[in-house]
Amino acid sequence: MVRFAKRLDLLDSSDIGDLLKLIARPDIISFAGGLPAPELFPVEELKQAGIAVMEEMGTVACQYSSTEGLPQLREKIVERMAAKNNIHASADQILITSGSQQGLDFAARVFIDPGDVILVESPSYLGAINAFKASEPTFIEVPTDDGGMIMEELDKILATTENVKMIYVIPDFQNPTGRTWSLERREKFMEIVNKYEIPVIEDNPYGELRFENEDMPALKSLDTKDLVIYLGTLSKVMVPGFRIGWVCAEDEILSKFNTMKQGADLATSTLTQLQANKYMDMNDLDEHVAKIREVYKHRRDVMMNAMKEYFPPEAKFTYPDGGLFTWVELPSYINTKEMALQCLEKKVAYVPGGSFFPNGGKNNCFRMNYSCMSDEKIIEGVKALAEVIKANLK
């Protein structure tokens, strides 16, 4: 008889997995995925970069490379973090990962033993929750409001909870809510973190996708005690298929992540690292990101305007300043997992919100993505959602 590890019982992928199989149908208007718009991928430019890599260093591209990652790419990442996030680090403080998701997996392995406490925003990113679950933590959800994590609640929890080993946050255009922390909250957060000296995982996949208002400094840029481990990625600003992310941390912490990387896959693909690096040599990445922002801002506006027009007043939703998502809250008696099946009958999909709460119990919310659908499909899909919502109201 085949016996599997008990940790598999902790991983709940069935809800999302079953839904994603359904929304893969071409006739479905999908607001469910967190995918970049494929029509914006710089395919021709990447093709030329790939040709140049193979012509100039084909045997190098086909070989193993160092666990830390391509030095030239790490230098570019350091320069970009300084320009965009005010983070001043060295290339030796960067580890290239197979997507930032791998950084999340490593974070739990580095810090968490069974029963240790992880603090997360309530709600929080489903992919992080599932990555952390394999290490058998205890999750404590920190309450949030329209401005993100409530710092007074964080302070109370840290003052009264033993064995907190890690805090996980997404301060910019959070997945799933789209919320962004103010400068005041960021400064207060770092004040609290410094008081208790708890490691922080700052996940920032969407930070460059700001549509309006001022850029906010990364938590890592405010870090005076080397407590913040910063996760970045090229998935939302270049292409997700490269699976290039990175961890930025101080030397001792990064060495632990390096050990995890060696045990997981030895190194991220040499070929994709070289191709991404060559693309940035041959093209202006800032110019490309500006095009992405313009399209996503427009689609955000189309969705927001449609929701304002067609959703009933009982449906409350966030207005993101950037990123990929808005978050909808309905009256507490509506179960959005059950309602999702009704929406699929009308050929429209979202992600039910319950899975974004690691301790469960909140099923009246859902996440919507606006990056991948045309104007016409966004409006058509919102209209269909509005009909279903109204039919479920008491």
Model confidence over 194-239: pLDDT tens digits? Answer: 999 999 999 999 999 999 988 999 999 999 999 999 999 999 999 9
Distance CA 150, CA 180 (A): 12
Task: Give the SS3 label for residue 3.
Answer: coil
Contact 273, 65 (CB under 8 A): yes
- 186: Cα separation from own chain's centroid: 18
pLDDT-based confidence at residue 127 (cuts at 50, 70, 90): very high
**Token pair of 233, please?**
């990625």
**Whether residue 123 has a cis bond before it, omega within 30° of 0:** yes
pLDDT at residue 36 in the model: 94
Is residue 17 predicted with pLDDT exceeding 70? Answer: no
Of residues 361 and 284, which shows the higher confidence score? 284
Compute how many other C-beta atoms are within 10 angstroms of the C-beta atom of residue 62: 11
pLDDT at residue 188 in the model: 98
pLDDT at residue 20 in the model: 61
Which ranges constitute the DSSP H helices of the chain?
A: 14-23, 43-61, 71-85, 100-111, 126-133, 151-160, 183-196, 251-264, 270-282, 285-310, 336-345, 375-392
Is residue 14 predicted with pLDDT exceeding 60? Answer: no
Please report the sign of the dihedral spanned by the C-alpha atoms of residue 59, residue 61, residue 66, residue 67: negative
pLDDT in tens, 306-361: 999 999 999 999 999 999 999 999 999 999 999 999 999 999 999 999 999 999 88
Mean pLDDT (whole number) for 13-30: 68
Q: Which pairing describes strands 117-121 and 138-142: parallel, antiparallel, or unpaired?
A: parallel
pTM score: 0.96
β partners of residue 317: 328
Is residue 16 predicted with pLDDT exceeding 60? Answer: no
pLDDT at residue 18 in the model: 59
pLDDT in tens, 68-125: 999 999 999 999 999 999 999 999 999 999 999 999 999 999 999 999 999 999 999 9
Distance CA 13, CA 340 (A): 16
pLDDT at residue 27 in the model: 87
Cα separations in angstroms, 151 against 34, 196, 253: 28, 13, 25
pLDDT at residue 161 in the model: 98
Choice among 31-35, 323-327, 375-379 with the minimum mean pLDDT: 31-35
Determine the Cα angle at 67 with ends 63 and 72, to 5°: 75
**Token pair of 130, please?**
């599932």
pLDDT at residue 5 in the model: 82
Find the farthest-apart pair of alpha carbons in the chain and give their distance in angstroms, rounded: 66
Burial category of 38 from C-beta neighbours within 10 Å (exposed 0-12, middle 13-18, buried 19 and up): exposed
Residue closest to 31 by CA, chosen among 386, 384, 370, 385 = 370
